[in-house]
Amino acid sequence: MAATAIFTADRFIAPIGHRATKHIGTKTRKHRIGRPTTTQSIAKTLCGTGDEESLCCACPLGGTTECRNQCVVGTAHSFVGWPETPVLVLTPNEIVGHGAALNEADVLGVEVDPSNRVACVTFRVLALSEVGTEPSDTRVQFRFHSVGRVVASLREGHWDDAIVPIVPIALEALLPTAQSFGGLPIYGWEFVDCHERDLSRLSDRLSLDWHPGNDGRSHSISLFQDGGNRILDLYLWFGALETRDPYHRPVPIASFIAAGKRWWDAFCVGDERTKGYGMAPLRSPAVLNQQVRLAMLAADPRR
184 in a structural domain: yes
> Which is more confident, 53 or 220?
220
Cα–Cα distance measured from residue 176 to residue 229, given in angstroms and rounded to the nearest whole number: 18
116 in a structural domain: yes
303 in a structural domain: no
β-pair type (22-24, 279-281): parallel
Residue 151, CA distances (Å) to 5, 29, 85 in order: 21, 21, 26
* Mean pLDDT of the 77-93 span: 62
16 in a structural domain: no
Phi-psi region of 202 (alpha: psi -120 to 50; beta: other; left: phi over 0): alpha
11 in a structural domain: no
H or E segment and range at residue 223: strand 219-226
H or E segment and range at residue 259: helix 253-268
56 in a structural domain: no
For the chain, the C-alpha Rg in angstroms (whole number) is 19
Which of 19-23, 112-116, 137-141, 183-187 comes out lowest in average pLDDT? 19-23
Which of 156-160, 243-247, 295-299 comes out lowest in average pLDDT? 295-299
Percent of the chain with pLDDT over 90: 46
> Which is more confident, 12 or 212?
212
Among 121, 115, 160, smallest CA distance to 241 is for 121
222 in a structural domain: yes
**pLDDT on residue 87:** 79
Which of 40-49, 162-171, 227-236 comes out lowest in average pLDDT? 40-49
Q: Please check whether residue 122 is in contact with residue 143, taking contact to mean a CB–CB distance below 8 angstroms.
A: no
Q: Specify burial of residue 302 (Cβ count, 10 A radius: 0-12, 13-18, 19+).
A: exposed
Which of 36-50, 57-71, 80-94, 124-138 comes out lowest in average pLDDT? 36-50
Lay out the sheet containing 139-145: strands in order across: 106-113, 118-124, 139-145, 240-244
> Which is more confident, 73 or 98?
98
pLDDT at 135 over 50: yes
Cα–Cα distance measured from residue 263 to residue 40, given in angstroms and rounded to the nearest whole number: 28
**pLDDT on residue 88:** 83
Cα–Cα distance measured from residue 66 to residue 203, given in angstroms and rounded to the nearest whole number: 47
Structural domains counted in the chain: 1
Neighbours of 195 (CB within 10 A): 20
pLDDT at 63 over 80: no
Which of 35-44, 192-201, 208-217 comes out lowest in average pLDDT? 35-44
Band of pLDDT at residue 282, cut at 50, 70 and 90: low
Longest Cα pair distance anywhere in the chain, in angstroms? 58
**pLDDT on residue 247:** 86
Classify 287 as helix, strand or coil.
helix
73 in a structural domain: no
Which of 16-25, 137-146, 245-254, 262-271 comes out lowest in average pLDDT? 16-25
pLDDT at 300 over 70: no
Strand positions, DSSP E, 66-185: 106-113, 118-124, 139-145, 149-155, 166-167
Cα–Cα distance measured from residue 226 to residue 94, given in angstroms and rounded to the nearest whole number: 26
* Mean pLDDT of the 239-248 span: 92
Which residues form the domain of 293?
27-32+83-298
Residues 6+ apart with CB under 8 A from 51: none
Residue 246, CA distances (Å) to 40, 96, 122, 132, 260 in order: 13, 24, 9, 20, 17
